[in-house]
Structure formats: C-alpha cells, structure tokens
Amino acid sequence: MGNSGKYIFGVDIGGTTVKLGFFDREGTLLDKWEIPTRTEDGGSKILPDIADSITKKIDEKGIGTEDVAGVGVGAPGPIDNEGVVHRAVNLGWGVFSIKKTLEDILHLPVMAGNDANVAALGEMWKGGGKGSSDLIMVTLGTGVGGGIITGGRVLTGVCGAGGEIGHVHVEDNEEESCNCGNKGCLEQYTSATGVTRLANRKLAKSDRESVLRGGEVSAKTVFDAVKAKDTLAMEVAEEFGKYLGNGLAVISSVINPDTIVIGGGVSKAGEILMDYIRPYYEKNVFHGSREVKFALATLGNDAGIFGSAKLVLDAVL
Amino acid sequence: MGNSGKYIFGVDIGGTTVKLGFFDREGTLLDKWEIPTRTEDGGSKILPDIADSITKKIDEKGIGTEDVAGVGVGAPGPIDNEGVVHRAVNLGWGVFSIKKTLEDILHLPVMAGNDANVAALGEMWKGGGKGSSDLIMVTLGTGVGGGIITGGRVLTGVCGAGGEIGHVHVEDNEEESCNCGNKGCLEQYTSATGVTRLANRKLAKSDRESVLRGGEVSAKTVFDAVKAKDTLAMEVAEEFGKYLGNGLAVISSVINPDTIVIGGGVSKAGEILMDYIRPYYEKNVFHGSREVKFALATLGNDAGIFGSAKLVLDAVL
C-alpha cells in the first residue's frame, strides 16, 4: 500500500442504509452522510453505489484520488483477512472479495471487516476504549454483537467469525432456539429482546407486584424500573448480569483485555449495568484478567465508520 | 532486528530443568539438551546459566554469534509483548524484562513468551497444528495449560495472561477451590488430576461395579477402562468431554480457529478423547466455527523449544 493520501473514507454497510464518513488521518470526522442499501439482485448494486457516492464526495471536496489513503468497509457478515465475505444474508451476498471488487471500481486501497469487529476497532480508536490495545466490545442491541481487539489488531479468525460473543453458550437448560440455531446463547438473555424475554418469563411465573405489570415491557422499561428499585426488575437485572458477567469472564480469561466496552441500545441504561455485571465477572474471571476497565461505548452509530477508517490507517502505515 | 544468522536457540524454562534446542531457520532441531533450573536467590541464576550454556554451544559448534539470529525463551508465567515477566512463582521471579536481561548478557536478539503460548506456536509450526494460522492448544497435564494463536500470532493479552484456557469457568456448582482460587475452572475436571477426581467422586457415590475399583485411579487407568467399555469409566469420560467440549465451544466461538490441538499427559489416551469432546463441542459452538480440525499434539516436551525458536523467526523476518 504505502499510499500517503491525507484523507480516508470509512463505510458501514447496514441492512437498510450505508453510513459513510470522510476522515483525516488523525481521525477527525470531517463529513458524514448516508445512502440507501439496495439489496436487490443479490446485493450487486451496493458496492457500485458506495463507489459512486465516494467519487462524488471526492469531487465535492475539490480533492483528487491521490489525496485519499483508502476506503475501509464494515459489513454484517464473516469477512476474512483478505477482505473476502463468506455470505452476508442481510445484504443478499454470497462469497466474493469486497476488497477486490471495490478496488477495481475505485482504484484506491480498500480494507474490509465484519461490522461488529470494525465497531470495536472504532471504539478503541476514538470511543470508550480509547488508549486500549486489548479490548472486548459487546453490543447489546436487538441481537448481541461482539468484537475483539488483541495487540491492537482485530481478532478476525480463520473465516471472519472471530469475536462472535453473542453466540457463546451460557445456559444448558434453554428450550427455545436462538436465531443461530443453537440453544442457550448469550444473546438470548442479554440483548434487548433477551432482557424483555427474561422479564416476561418472570412476570408470567407469579403474581408479584411490579411497575412492569400491565405496561410495555422492554429493556428500557426494565432498567428504568431497576432504577426505581422495583424488586422484580432488579431480579431480572441480576439474571442479565449473571449471564453477561459470566460470559465476559470466560472470554476475558483467554483474551486478557485491559478494557471491556458495552454498547448498543441496552447500554443506554448506563453505569447501573456494571453494578450487575461486575460481581459475576470478578468472581469467575482468571485473576490475571480481573483488573479490567468497564466502559460504555461513546460513538453510537458512528463506531463502524470510525473503525473502518482505522482499518485503512493500520494497513497503510 | 533484521539479524540474518542461520541458527536459532529455543529455550523452555521449567521448574526443575531448562530445555534448550539449536535450530536452523527451517525449524530442523539440530541439537537439544537440558540444564538444571536453579531457582535459589529469586531465580537470579537462571538466565545467566542459560546464557552460559548457549555461549558454550556456540563455541562447540564452531560458529560465531553473527551466525545466530536470536534466542527465544518460554517461561511459566505471564510475559507481555515486550518480554517482561509479571511474576513467575515457580522460578522465584518478580517483575523484570527477560528480553533485556538476556540481551545484555548475550548481545543477541531475545524474544520471550509464556510457556503454554509458546508451546502452541511450536505445535502450529511443526506439530499437530502444522499449516494452521488460527489455533487453540490445550495441554491436559497436572493442570490445564492453554495457548491461542490468531492470524499466525500468539494471543498474549495486555499483561501476558492471554490463552488461560485452564481457568475458564465451566461449573457454577463446584465447592472445592481450584489452585487459582476460583471455583469451577476447566482445569478441575479435565486435567489428569481432574479426571481422577471425577472418577473418585463417581466411585464413592455408588457400589457399582467397575474395573477401576480397588486399583489405582488415574487419567490413564480411567481411559484404559473406557477402551475396555467399563460403564462407570465411560460416564467419567462423558463428563470430561462435556466440560472440555463446552469450554472449547465457547472459546472457539470468539477465536474462530481452524485447528484445536490437544496435548499433555491425558492426551496419550489418543483419538478416543475426541469421541467424547466433539459432540458437546459441535452442539454448542457458533456455526461459523463448527468446522474445526481436532488434532493430537505431536511434539511432546519439545513443543516449547520449537515455539520459542519460532518466536525469534517471526520477529526477525
């Protein structure tokens, strides 16, 4: 590579929109915008649309391609270290090289990675994990995503499935299946849907009083109820904390991170989450990994564009 | 670095002996020998003894230091990426740089790593994991050691405690403490001592017939009894397989390896181990990591010297 361009594009492909960011090398986000994700025709229009949008932005900024160090891309699927995606169901993609396809259109260096892994890199660079070199990020959204950085580099794994924290097995006695087909995955208890499920199960089991009864049950209302000292909600939070604390303890015992970043919709509950996670984590983690900093994610939906820009920076430097 | 010497020394420091190996760059083991580990005086003699032994070997071989690319060292303790050990109780060591100390005596490039991590690198280079780039190695000995390689590099972690597979929490209902202080670690069920403990517990619980009754109970006699279709021993193997299979499934879900290498004394039972591990592994691992090759370690006690030599090779290339 060795391109010395001053600017980098960071791209985060989602199922409905593609987020794009225009950065300088220091990681200042100079501009950001979105385009729709056109998933028709096996998603064959997605990369040309992105190339088109980047070309227009280069013109708009009055710069040339020689001023651009490269383009980083995060996408929802397993992507290996060569930039090859191994099926991305949400985008209609099969197996092909994102890197090569986009390089052929743009004539710029391209790096690609899994969206959750790339978001972890973004949080390490400019977010809740700033200054860390060994980090676990867990995103508690509709599902549970994860990304792991070790020695400053994304843990990709052999086919891009590295960092799949959401599908770590944490419960032998589960009867419902996870979206992945297994039973007892971390995602089933700690995603927004998982917390709701835990609460509904507990509400159904007894007639105990709770502010959750009768109203809408969601991760937000559960943690609001926890803050209001609702006993039933606090028991739900305890279960949530047990699963997440134990799961993170196992992962930390082999990763030995300095920081664990918690992001996603559920993390909006704030620091109170740590009160429930930390006791289980500290009880079961190997002592060499006990001294870890728990931090909330700070980049929100921009983590992906920051991280994909950083992928480029790490490759061209 | 950039030293172009043709030879490498690989050193594996144990609690009673230090193993040393003399390699060419292709990884041919040209000579190997041992010296005692002198742990007195806070282990201050260990590195000078090693330097002395290497200097003598260089003379004996009729080569000069300019022919040596470097010296790799594996030691039983957390060692970070800078070659600093953070206490090695068995050697009497506190916190200091192995790399710097030995470089100052030998005037040769030195690389250092945790012994179990380095053994994993050795098995990847020349042993059961040959050809792999993403590998988990678990050593079932008196304790359970572990090493993880991701993208061809040792997963060291922030203070050298990466890859501590033996102290992954796998059982909430354990009452006895592990050597590490926690309860329910993988090591408590799958080390040689762990298998013996599982067997003794099962023997004490009932009067059922078993060839294990009355004789010596050890990991070896248990797996010999499994091969002779002893029902009680087979149930012990089932428990062993459940803990190890589930534990490896969790770790694989985040590491996404192509190979899992099983070594240590218990692994002498052979391929039959996989029959008990694999069903639990496959049931609970994330699908992206299901296609993994299980292999037995092949380098035995030499894994450490091979791996530490490879540490040097990776650094100087």
> pLDDT tens across B29-86, in order?
999 999 999 999 999 999 999 999 999 999 999 999 999 999 999 999 999 999 999 9
**Confidence at residue A63, expressed as pLDDT on a 0 to 100 scale:** 96
- Residue B211, classified by CB atoms within 10 Å of its CB into exposed (0-12), middle (13-18) or buried (19+), is middle
pLDDT digits (tens, 9 = 90+) for A223-255: 999 999 999 999 999 999 999 999 999 999 999
Question: Closest-CA residue in chain A for B245?
Answer: A169
Q: What 3-state class would DSSP assign to A228?
A: coil
**Confidence at residue A296, expressed as pLDDT on a 0 to 100 scale:** 97
Determine if the pTM surpasses 0.90: yes
Q: How confident is the model at residue A2 (pLDDT cuts 50, 70, 90)?
A: very low
Per-residue burial over B50-60, b = 16 or more CB atoms within 10 Å of its CB, e = otherwise: bbebbeebbee
* Residue of B317 and B271 predicted with greater confidence: B271
A1 pLDDT above the threshold of 50: no
Query: Beta-strand (E) ranges in chain B?
Result: 7-13, 17-24, 29-36, 68-75, 84-88, 93-97, 110-114, 135-140, 144-150, 153-154, 259-263, 293-296
Q: Which residues of A touch B285 (CB under 8 A)?
A: 169
pLDDT digits (tens, 9 = 90+) for A200-229: 999 999 999 999 998 999 999 999 999 999
Q: How far is B64 from chain A (nearest CA, A)?
A: 35
- Nearest by CB: B150 against A150, A164, A249: A150
A3 pLDDT above the threshold of 70: no
Q: What are phi and psi of A298, to 5 degrees?
A: -120, -10
Place of tokens 């939070």: A237
Q: What are phi and psi of B291, to 5 degrees?
A: -80, 75
Q: How confident is the model at residue B1 (pLDDT cuts 50, 70, 90)?
A: very low
Distance from C-alpha of A62 to C-alpha of A64, rounded to nearest angstrom:
7
Q: How confident is the model at residue A317 (pLDDT cuts 50, 70, 90)?
A: low
Q: How far is A66 from chain B (nearest CA, A)?
A: 31
B106 pLDDT above the threshold of 90: yes
Mutate to test the interface with B, among A95, A124, A138, A150 (most CBs of B within 10 A): A150
pLDDT digits (tens, 9 = 90+) for A40-70: 999 999 999 999 999 999 999 999 999 999 9
Contact A286 B250 (CB under 8 A): no
The HSE-up count of residue A316 (CA atoms within 13 Å, CB side) is 23
Q: Which helix (H) or strand (E) holds A46?
A: helix A46-60
- Nearest by CB: A253 against B153, B168, B288: B168
Contact A150 B157 (CB under 8 A): yes
pLDDT digits (tens, 9 = 90+) for B271-307: 999 999 999 999 999 998 999 999 999 999 999 999 9
Q: How far is A231 from chain B (nearest CA, A)?
A: 24
Q: How confident is the model at residue A4 (pLDDT cuts 50, 70, 90)?
A: confident
Q: How confident is the model at residue A97 (pLDDT cuts 50, 70, 90)?
A: very high
Residues of chain B with pLDDT > 70: what percent? 99
- Which residues 59-98 in chain B show a CB within 8 A of chain A? 78, 81
- Nearest by CB: B165 against A156, A161, A254: A254
Q: Which residues of A touch B257 (CB under 8 A)?
A: 157-158
Mutate to test the interface with B, among A133, A171, A256, A289 (most CBs of B within 10 A): A256
* Residue A155 · residue A148 · CB < 8 Å: yes
Q: Which residues of A touch B148 (CB under 8 A)?
A: 254
Mutate to test the interface with B, among A81, A144, A255 (most CBs of B within 10 A): A255
Contact B165 A78 (CB under 8 A): no
Question: Closest-CA residue in chain B for A185?
Answer: B284
Q: How confident is the model at residue A173 (pLDDT cuts 50, 70, 90)?
A: very high
Q: Which helix (H) or strand (E) holds A249?
A: helix A231-255
**Confidence at residue B220, expressed as pLDDT on a 0 to 100 scale:** 97
Which amino acid, residue A105? I
Q: Which residues of B touch A158 (CB under 8 A)?
A: 133-134, 256-258
Chain A to chain B Cβ contacts (< 8 Å): 144
- Nearest by CB: B286 against A156, A164, A285: A164
Distance from C-alpha of B171 to C-alpha of B45, rounded to nearest angstrom:
41
pLDDT digits (tens, 9 = 90+) for B209-223: 999 998 999 999 999
Q: Does A155 touch chain B (CB under 8 A)?
A: yes
- Nearest by CB: A150 against B155, B258, B287: B155
What is the overall mean pLDDT for chain B? 95
Instruction: Give this complex's ipTM.
Output: 0.92
